[in-house]
Structures are given as structure tokens and as C-alpha cells.
Structure 1
Amino acid sequence: MNILIIHQNFPGQYKHLAPELARAGHRVVALTPKVKEATRWNGVAVMPYAIQGRSTEGIHPWLQDFETKLLRGGSCYRGALALRAQGFTPDVILAHHGWGESLFLKDVWPKARLGLYCELYHLTTEDFVNFDPEFERPGADNERLRIRMKNLNNRLHEEVMDAGISPTRFQASTFPDPWRDRITVSHDGIDTDQVRPDPDARLEVADGRVLTRADEVITFVNRNLEPYRGYHVFMRALPEILRRRPAAHVVMLGGDEVSYGARAPEGRTWKQIFIDEVRGRIPDADWARVHFLGRVPYPRFLSLLQVSRAHVYLTYPFVLSWSLLESMSAECAILASDTAPVREVIADGETGLLVDFFDGAGLVDRLESLLGDADLRARLGRAARARIVADYDLRRVCLPRQVAWVDTLAARDPRPPRD
């Protein structure tokens, strides 16, 4: 079978699936702007295409969002035409459509089956538009209109999607009814053989200090430190956490940029805004126990999870972070926000503890109870890992399920492009 994979940052979500399909004997080709020249990666032929054009200056900002997707879709279309001219005809196309790249691929290969990675459909309900009133954008009604326009790319893809795959039930549930009967829920998978507890783990922080399992380490991980992932809630709780836990070290991972939501005002960063807000209430001796590591290589990230005594994870109702599942696989004792995506994997008192996203005082209280009860931490950590091994293991559960999904996709009658 000929399989084409489309991702603007290949391999992205196809890191494990693409090589697995190649090992199974399929001809797998990836088309991406990430490379400048054709290359091979783990049995996959990786082919370049160039993004042509740029956004129109002065265009309505709602259209600018779609125009960037249209430019990528047109550029990928030209790359696909070049592939077709070389004699390549895919039976199956797998694409993360979030950047618009796959908009016109059915126009190149109308008989191909198109399987989409359905990450999120943007909703206009209160939980999505105004979950955190502190960061409400001006003109809430206009925000709902903007979000609806943001789904233009989703809606155009729905017309040509033969099947979809979504990593969590929560993410799949955001898509409208016409999509859902074509979406399979299967996570990308966690390598539980690699992400596991290590009693001998060591993590170096500032000034050469090395933290181990013998230390009281509280961990907090985001791709970027920002409100969507509860950074502001955690930081506002930090002075009291440090006061109550005089031996604790707080270690935070995350960059200074923005992955989701609005940018920080006045060219500042969310990270520094909330440091500035709380720093005056934290004595220097306590602040020395707070460690910002930025972004780190994956082995160091694993070491952080493995030395963690309590791991805090907060999020809006949004895409669930891989780091939560990885922390569960590492047998961390987890305190997480009681929000819909989290409840899919964390049952309060069973695989972790939950707290209302906005309840900073409750966060401190539950964190203190977790740190003070070794038996509770051990029980929650074991149950968390057992959940991941049973339902999210990469090699034994998720990857076989994804391969089966591709096989089912290949057997479907393709949906042609519509006028």
C-alpha cells in the first residue's frame, strides 16, 4: 500500500506510526516544508515542499488566520502535483489538517482515502470562550464570531475526510455530530518501557545542586508557562506552598513563549508577569528553592518526573498535555485540575488528586496533604502507572490500534471532493 503523510513539522504525531507502517512493508512518503531536500528517515521517504506567498497586509485578522492555511494548502497542493508527476499515487493519506496543508489533496488524488488527525474543534461555549474571566478578550460576542471563523479550515476538511483519529475522548467530543461517527479515539501512545520510575534518578538544578528521590520535589511542567496551563494559579499559590513546606524544592519546566491563548501584554512574558506578582511575598531564602529550567532535553525531563514527589498539572478545558500521561507513567503522585480533559485519565483519590482550577487555597491544602502522606503518594503513583500501561502503552496498545485504523481507512470507499 502507498501511504502519504502530511505534517508541517514532520514527524509530529506520526513519529511512531510512520516507521511502523514502513516496517510493515508499505511504501510511506512524507510531504513537509520542514526539509529542504529529499531524505529518508526510519524507512520513510521525506519529500520537501516550499510554502509560497505571505499574508496580505491590512486584511481582516479573522481572514488572516484562514489565509495562512490557504497559503499552506495551495503550496502543499503544488508539492502533491509534483509527487503525482513522479508517478506516486497514494492509497491512503494521513494528515494533521490544523495548518490547512491537506485542503486540496483530494483534488490531486480523488480516489485516495484521507485520514485526519482531529486535534480540536474550536467551540464557542462558555467553557472555551470565557473559562477564565481574568483573561477575557474585549468584546465577548465578537470572540465567539472569531472562533466560528477559525473553524473554516475544520469545516472544509470535514467534506473530504474519510476517517479521523483523535487522541482523547474529550478532543473527539469537540467535533460536531457529522464528524464523530468517523472519528476513532486512540492516543499517540506513551513508551512505558522508557517512561518509568527510577529510584536512582538525579536532577541537577542551580549552582550544581542535585535533587534525588530523597528530596521533597514539587514539579510543574508546561511547553510554555502561560495561563491556559494554569501557570498563574500555581504561581499565586507558590508563596504559601514554600511557607508551609520549608524543605521543598519547586522545579518548573517551560518556555517563555505562548502556545495557546493570548500573548502577554506590552511585549512581556507570562512567566515574568507572575514572577513579578508574587516575588515580593517570597523571602530570598525561599526563592532559592524555586528552579526554572526552561526547556530541556527529553532525558532531563524524564529525570525531573522521576525525582518528583508531587507533580502539579493544571489546564483549561483544552488539548490534554502529553506530560500528564508521562508523569503518570513515571509513577508520579499527581495533583491536577478538575477539568474535563483531565478527568478522562485522573479519577480523584484513585489515580491522582483533583482540585478546582481556580482554587489556589485548595491547591495548597491538597498538595500539603499529598506531600505529608507517603502511603497515599505510593498508592496513587502505582495506580496512575497501571492506568497508562493498560490503556496508553505505545507498543502494546496504541500503535496496534493506530495501524488497525489505517487498515480500516484503506478499506473505505473514498469521499470525492465537493463543489
Structure 2
Amino acid sequence: MNILFIHQNFPGQFRHLAAHLARQPGIHVRAIGREQAPGLAGIRLHRYRPHRRAGKNTHPYARTFEEGVLHGQQVLRLLLDLQRQEGYRPDLVIAHPGWGETLYLKQAFPHTPLIHFCEYYYRTQGADAGFDPEFPLALHSAAAIHSRNALHLLNLENCDLGVTPTRWQHGLHPAAYRDKIRVIHEGIDTANLGPNPNAVLTLPDGRQLKAGDPVITYVARNLEPYRGFHRFMRALPKLLQAHPDCQIVVIGGNDVSYGSRPKDAPDWRTKLLRENPVDPARVHFLGKVPYATYRSALQVSAAHVYLTYPFVLSWSLLEALACGCPVIASDTAPVREVIRHGDNGWLVDFFDGDALVERMLHALADPRDGNGLRERARRSVRDYSVDKGIRGYLTEMERLLGHSFATIQAKVHQIEEIS
């Protein structure tokens, strides 16, 4: 059986599923990604690059769609080349369609089942857009968002099955398509995450922070308002004054994953440090770090802060819970699906800086966690394990294909015995 993964940044959300399938007898896994995709050991990756960007004269509302067409066109060319040169035909395709790669896949393989990772369907109300009054949604931007969904509507129409990580993300999609979308989180590596009473985080200046120290952690792929970085930074001066011994560890880059850069500074870190001066001996910006360093930071954390607009749920929230961190999170969707206030973490109003400071001070005052919140945090993410995510995908894949993977493997064993 040939299974093809398509993801601009392969493996992306398919890391664990692709690796699992690649280990199975009788299953041959390939992938398609852009030229910068990191790839995955043991899986053949075909790289593509659009021959141009959207035109300068393309209407701003249609630019995302044109970019999608260019991605889809290039992937179609690649698929047709594989078909012609190698006789390649996938039996199943699993793809993230957000950049348009699968727009024309059915032109090459009309009968091949297609599973889409339906990460997000944009809304002008009730989600990220217009959530933060500091960044009001202009009419121009709302119109562009509305047009952007043309690509996603085609993606929903093209696929045979959709998968999305949370119930809230599922509910963002048009009602007409929800029946074909399943809620399956891809999972985090809970087996290699957990508390470590001997954890040590070495700072750039050589100092060491240890489990049990008064350490607050904050993590985001990039430091920006979508992940509440501005709210966190504005709370720090009051926290540092109220607790003279605490240390703050911030992990994340200075680029922009979502939204835009500030108009008066090169990045949000520069802008917010200028507006909220803090002691660099106590607030440590580590940038982007190796996974082992990130895990150590979570394991020494006395409280982990996770703030977000109503948007895609970050793996870092689940990984912090898996490490037994007392998590202080924004009372926003889909965080509420994971955090039960006072049970496995705490929820605070995204815009209430005083409540955030109060909750951080509370966590620092009870480092031994007398009420067992850390253990409940760990237990609460069992439903987000890699194993459960893989099982969920396999169930839907077998249903779509009409036979089980055990049947495929049994046939492989029979052939091996005959030969």
C-alpha cells in the first residue's frame, strides 16, 4: 500500500502518524513538502517550489487564493511526473491543505481517498479576528478574511474526510461540512514528558534554575499578541516587584507566526521591553531553543503561563501539563476544552493583568502543590497522547479504505512465507 503525506513543512502535525505507518510491513510512505521542509528519517520526501509568488497587481482579497493555486499547480506537476516516470499511484493521501497543495490532486488521482487536516476556518466574528480591542478588525481586513475562505471551501469539497484537533476548531467549519470532519488530536509525546525533581535549566550566563525554584515560564513559537505576549509583558513589572526572588524564562522567536509586526519596532519583544522595562538579570529571553532545553524549562517551572486568542491550540500547553506544570491559561477557546479551572490548572481573563499577577503569585506561594494539581494536570493529557492520536487516525483510515491494516500485513506475511 502506498500512503502519501502532503504538508508544506512536512512532517508538521503528521510526524508521529507518518513515522508509525512507515514502520508497518507492506506500507510504503512518501511525502511532499516545500524546499525548506525538514523531512523525516526513513521517508522519501519530494520537494516542490512554486515558480512565482502571487502577482503584484493581484487584488489583496484574492492574493491568498492565487498563492494556493500556485502551490496546487506545482504539486500537480510533481504528481504527474511521479506517475509518468515511476508509475506511482497513492492508495491514500493525508494532507494539510492550508496552502493549496491538494487543490488539483484529484486531477491526477481522481479515485484516491483524500484526508485533509482541517486546522482552521476563518471567521470575522467569534474567533481570533477582532478579539483584541487593541487591534480592531478593519472592514478591509474582514473582507480579506471572508475571501480567504474560498480556498478552504474548495479544500472541504475536495476531501473525502477531514480531521481537526479540537471540538472548537470543528465548530468553526460550515455546518454543511461538519459531518465529514472528525475530531482527533494528533497527540503529544507524553511518554517522554513528565516531572523531573532533579531538572536543571542552565541560563546563557551560566546560572542554573532548578525544580522547586520560583520560576515562571512562558513559551510561544514567536513572541506576539496572538499568544498574549503583550498581556504577559505588561504583567511582569508588578509581578517582579511583588516577588523579589522569582525568575522569568521566556522561550520563543522574534518573528511573526500570526498577525503582523508592530509599526514602531522591529519586533514585539523590542517594543514591549521598551514599554515595560524589566531587570534582565531576572527576565531571561532564551529565543528558540533545542527541545531538551524547552523540556527542562517546563520541568523547573513553578507556573507556566499560556495566553492565546481564540485560535489554534498550541502543543506547548499540552506539553506543559504533561510535565506537571501548574498552568495559568487564558479563559479562551479552545483552552477551555483542556483546562478545568482549579482542577488541572487555572483560567484567567485574557485582558485582566491584575488577575494574571495574582494567580502567578499564588502559584509561587505554593510550590509544593499541596492540593495535587500537578498530578491532575499530568493525568488530564492522557487523552492527548501520540498513541491515542494514531489510533484515531488509523480507525478513520481503515473505514475510508474499507479494510484494516492488519489485513494488509497478513497478506505481506503470506507473500514472505511463499517466497
Residue matched to 2:345: 352
Alignment of 1:219 with 2:196, yes or no, is no
Q: Give 1:152-167 correspondences, 5 Å limit.
A: 152-167=150-165
- Aligned-residue offset at 1:53: 2.2
Q: TM-score, normalised by structure 2?
A: 0.92
Going from structure 1 to structure 2, the CA distance change for 1:151 and 1:323 (only over 3 Å counts) comes to same
Aligned to 1:298: 291
Cα 1:22–1:402 shift into 2, 3 Å: same
Instruction: Look up the equivalent residue of 2:118 and give its one-letter code.
Output: C
Which amino acid in 2 is paired with 1:94? I
Instruction: Tell me if 1:310 matches 2:308.
Output: no
Structure 1's unaligned 5+ residue stretches are 413-419
Structure 1 position 126, deviation (Å): 4.6
Shift of 1:57: 1.6
Other-structure match for 1:242: 240
Deviations along 1:365-385, one digit per CA (max 9) or x if unpaired, are 111112212454762211111
CA–CA separation in structure 1 for the residues paired with 2:133 and 2:39: 48
Q: State the distance in 2 between where 1:208 and 1:42 align.
A: 34
CA contact 1:120–1:174 (8 Å) conserved in 2: yes
CA distance in 2, matches of 1:87, 1:52: 25
Find the counterpart in structure 2 of residue 69 from structure 1. Answer: 68
Tell me the distance in 1 between the aligned counterparts of 2:370 and 2:400. Answer: 42
| Partner residue, 2:408 | none
Contact 1:35 1:47 survives alignment (8 Å): no
CA-to-aligned-CA distance 1:257-310 (integer Å, 9 cap, x gap): 11111222145211111111111xx4xxx4411100000000000000000001
Match of 2:183 among 177, 182, 185: 185
- Tell whether 2:335 aligns with 1:335: no
2:88 aligned partner, one-letter code: F
Q: Which amino acid in the other structure matches residue 357 of structure 2?
A: V
* Equivalent in 382, 385, 396 of residue 393 of structure 1: 385
Q: CA deviation at 1:50?
A: 3.2
Secondary structure at the aligned position of 2:158 is classed as coil
Q: Which amino acid aligns with 1:100?
A: G
> CA 1:126 to 1:118, structure 2 compared with 1: closer, same or farther past 3 Å?
closer
Tell me the secondary structure at the aligned position of residue 116 of structure 1. Answer: strand
Distance in structure 2 (CA, Å) of the matches to 1:274 and 1:232: 7
Give the superposition deviation at 1:236. 0.6
118-127 vs 317-326, greater mean Cα deviation: 118-127
Counting aligned pairs with the same residue, the percent is 45
- Tell me if the contact between 2:7 and 2:33 (Cα under 8 Å) persists in the aligned partners: yes
**Structure 2: distance between partners of 1:116 and 1:170:** 17
CA–CA distance in 2 between the matches of 1:197 and 1:53?
Answer: 48
Post-superposition offset of 1:184: 1.2
Q: Provide the residue aligned with 1:113 in structure 2.
A: 113
Q: Which moved more, 1:39-48 or 1:89-98?
A: 39-48
Alpha-carbon RMSD: 1.8
Q: Measure the CA separation in 2 of the matches of 1:407 and 1:350.
A: 37
TM-score, length-normalised on structure 1?
0.92
Asked if structure 2 preserves the Cα contact closer than 8 Å seen for 1:201 and 1:213, the reply is yes
Shift of 1:334: 0.7
Gaps spanning 5+ residues in structure 2: where? Answer: 404-419
Distance 2:201 2:371 in 1: 21
Query: Could you tell me whether the CA contact under 8 Å between 1:188 and 1:394 is conserved in 2?
Result: yes
Contact 2:11/2:39 (<8 A) preserved: no
Partners of 1:15 and 1:321 in 2: CA distance = 16
Deviation at 1:328, TM superposition (A): 0.3
The 3-state SS of whatever aligns with 2:334 is: helix
Q: Could you list the per-position Cα deviations for residues 355-405 of structure 1 after superposition, in whole angstroms to 9, with x for gaps in the alignment? A: 00000011111111122124547622111110112x01113x221222222
